[in-house]
Amino acid sequence: MQEHRDEDRGRERAVSAKVMDDVGSNMEEMIAVVRHLEVDESPPRLPFRASWTLEEKRQ
């Protein structure tokens, strides 16, 4: 397992620059998409949670 991890680390270093570029540009693109979505911008009702359940929907 350790041997595989060492191989991984070497490979990761080699690809990290590419990953950094990809992740950075993807995040920018995704944020731009969300900023253009029409969302309810009225003050949220409390309690305001990040999670959801069917029960919350029913309420």
> Which residue ranges make up the site for another protein (CB under 8 A)?
1, 4-5, 7-9, 11-13, 15-16, 18-20, 22-24, 26-27, 29-31, 33-35, 37-41, 44, 50-55
Shortest distance in whole angstroms from residue 52 CB to another protein: 7
Shortest distance in whole angstroms from residue 54 CB to another protein: 5
Closest CB to another protein among residues 46, 52: 52
**Rounded CA gap, 11 and 1, in Å?**
15
